[in-house]
Amino acid sequence: MNKNKDNCKLWGGRFDNATSSLVEEFTQSLDYDRYLYLHDIAGSMAHARMLARQGVLTPEESREIVDGLKQVQKEIQDGEFSWRVVLEDVHMNIENRLTEIVGSVGQKLHTGRSRNDQVALDFRMFVVESLALWQKEIRNIIESLVIQAKTNQKTILPGYTHLQPAQPVSLAHHLLAYVQMFKRDFERASEAIKRTRVSPLGAAALAGTTYPLDPEMAAEEIGFENVFENSMDAVSDRDFALEALFVCSMIMVHLSRMCEEIIIWSNPAFGFIKLPEAYATGSSIMPQKKNPDVAELIRGKTGSVFGRLISLLTTMKALPLAYNRDMQEDKGPFIDAHRTVVNSLKVMSGMIREISFDAEAMGSALKKGYLNATEMADYLTSKGVPFRQAHNITGRAVAYAEKKGVGLEDLDFEELRGFSDKVSEDIFLILDYNQAVRRRKTQGGTGPESVAKQIEKAVVWLNETESR
Ligand code: ARG
């Protein structure tokens, strides 16, 4: 008996022989697309209602279908639904069960629709929801950063370039740099959402349909503002998913850079932070260890997210129009990346909130590396020494202090004056690390006014995005 024909397979009509079970296993997409069941059901309800309003189905038929779909949804939610690999994907599993429940009227649901526009719609809904969830988690991270920034405006630490001591900065300023990155990620997600909220329903297999469908109405039912303009594009483009995967990758880049700093800062040689015990792990052999595994894992998982972006880019790169089965390989990478970024964002925002910063350790680090050398050069310049000469004079003072094993501020007045007769007593004020930060009053600099303004703006942004 050919089980393809005995109405189990929704496309069985033209086949004489059964599908190989190996092929059934190989071609199924349930492992991933079952997570789209809510979207599939919502899309089907919208389609059924639209069909009724267009007179393709009677209102009674549409109601029966919608009620049947509600029951399917409940069965899935209650764990009572049996997913069947022979039915290939989420779409046919749901439609098959619907027909078992409501009888032959269920077979009318697919009128004027193809799995090609159906899957594109489901996936778009899933991607929009994912992007919105990332945004929520990004807001939490920003909130955590702002909380820490507020209490650390006066904490000073070495700012680095090339990971070498450069100039002192306020810890708040350092943390607020990440606020900027995550705000951009948030905005990128908003942009991506806008382009993803375009309904492909009504494109059918690839060419549109002969039924008098109203794609606008279906889109409205789903809550998408826009409708496809070209049916071939609607069923074959996945750039919305790629764009979201790029947004996701960018978030991971930012998380990973922050992780790198957490790892460095928690090393006892730096000692800038104490990791909360809830976010650290120990070693099975070395009793003293407190490892920053959470940060390391986020940094590590970043690679796998990039991989997912590249994987889908590669899948799409040479596909002719319109739908190709290759495109079934879109959901796996996306869903994996989605889970990774959500978990990473969650764990990171919790960790940031509980990190304790060691201002004293940061203060002693300031004493190593001549972070006030630029101050001395600028000081001499302000007294009329051309900057290049001032740079050179200060360089010689640094070399001298280094030989003595002390900081510039530890040299006595006569020693400093030995390098230039422009040096007077006020030089010590200039060499003070806190002063160096305070004097950076320019827009977006590390000075206290700029930092306070950044915090204020971030708080306004948090309030605005909360109400969105
Ligand atoms: N499981 C398929 C996918 O995820 C659904 C669309 C199948 N369409 C088709 N014409 N075979 O892409």
Question: What pLDDT, in 10s, does the model give residues 127-142?
Answer: 999 999 999 999 999 9
Span 203-209, average pLDDT: 98
Is residue 247 scored above 70 in pLDDT? yes
Name the residue of 9, 29, 329 whose CB sits within 8 Å of the most ligand 1 atoms, as the mutation to test its pocket.
29
For residue 280, the model assigns a pLDDT of 86
* CA end-to-end span of the chain: 57
Taking only the tens place, the pLDDT of each residue in 453-467 is 999 999 999 999 997
Among 369, 364, 375, 363, residue whose Cα is nearest residue 431: 375
200 Cα: distance to centroid of ligand 1 (angstroms): 14
Average pLDDT, the chain: 96
Give the mutation target among 29, 90, 115 for probing the ligand 1 site: most ligand atoms within 8 A of CB: 115
Q: What is the pLDDT of residue 6?
A: 54
Distance 242 CA to ligand 1 centre (A): 18
DSSP for 121-159?
Answer: HHHHHHHHHHHHHHHHHHHHHHHHHHHHHHHTSS-EEEE
3-class secondary structure, 169: strand
- 338 among known catalytic residues: no
Kindly give the residue spans of alpha helices, DSSP state H, lying in 286-372.
Answer: 293-316, 331-354, 359-366
**Strand pairing partners for 161?**
164
Residue 283 designated active-site = yes
Full DSSP string of 238-289: -HHHHHHHHHHHHHHHHHHHHHHHHHHHHSTTT--EE--GGG-B--SS-TT-
Q: Whose CA is nearest to atom 3 of ligand 1?
A: 328
Residue 194, pLDDT above cutoff 50: yes
Instruction: Tell whether the torsion through CA atoms of 411, 415, 419 and 422 is positive or negative.
Output: positive
Burial class (CB in 10 A: 0-12, 13-18, 19+), 320: exposed
Q: Which two tokens stand for residue 236?
A: 């074959």
pLDDT tens digits, 211-243: 999 999 999 999 999 999 999 999 999 999 999
The predicted pLDDT at position 159 comes to 97
pLDDT surpassing 60 at residue 2: no
pLDDT in tens, 85-96: 999 999 999 999
**What's the Rg (C-alpha) of the chain?**
31
Please write the tens of the pLDDT for every residue from 38-79: 999 999 999 999 999 999 999 999 999 999 999 999 999 999
**Going from the N-terminus, what domains does the chain have, and what CATH number goes with each?**
12-111 (1.10.275.10), 127-137+183-198+237-359 (1.20.200.10), 365-466 (1.10.40.30)
Q: Which atom belonging to ligand 1 lies closest to the Cα atom of 123?
A: 4
- In degrees to the nearest 10, what's the CA dihedral of 380, 385, 387, 389? -100
**Ligand 1 surroundings by CB, under 6 angstroms:** 29, 33, 89, 115-116, 119, 323, 325, 327-328
Ligand 1 centroid to Cα of residue 210, in Å, is 21
pLDDT in tens, 148-182: 999 999 999 999 999 999 999 999 999 999 999 99
> Are the C-beta atoms of 213 and 48 separated by less than 8 Å?
no
Query: How far away, in angstroms, is 86 Cα from ligand 1 center?
Result: 14
What confidence tens digit (pLDDT) does each residue in 292-349 have? 999 999 999 999 999 999 999 999 999 999 999 999 999 999 999 999 999 999 999 9
| Mean pLDDT on 419-440 | 95
Among candidate residues 283, 356, 382, 424, the one labeled active-site is: 283
Positive or negative, the Cα torsion across 84, 85, 86, 87? positive
Considering only CA atoms, which residue is closest to atom 12 of ligand 1? 328
Long-range contacts of 128-133 (CB under 8 A, 24+ apart): 128/193, 128/196, 128/197, 129/39, 130/244, 130/334, 130/338, 130/342, 131/189, 131/192, 131/193, 131/196, 131/244, 131/247, 132/189, 132/193, 133/342
Phi then psi for residue 448, to 5 deg, are -60, -35
pLDDT at 13: 85
Above 60 in pLDDT, residue 5? no
The pick from 10, 118, 325, 330 for probing ligand 1's pocket by mutation, whose C-beta has the most ligand atoms within 8 angstroms, reads 325
pLDDT at 10: 80
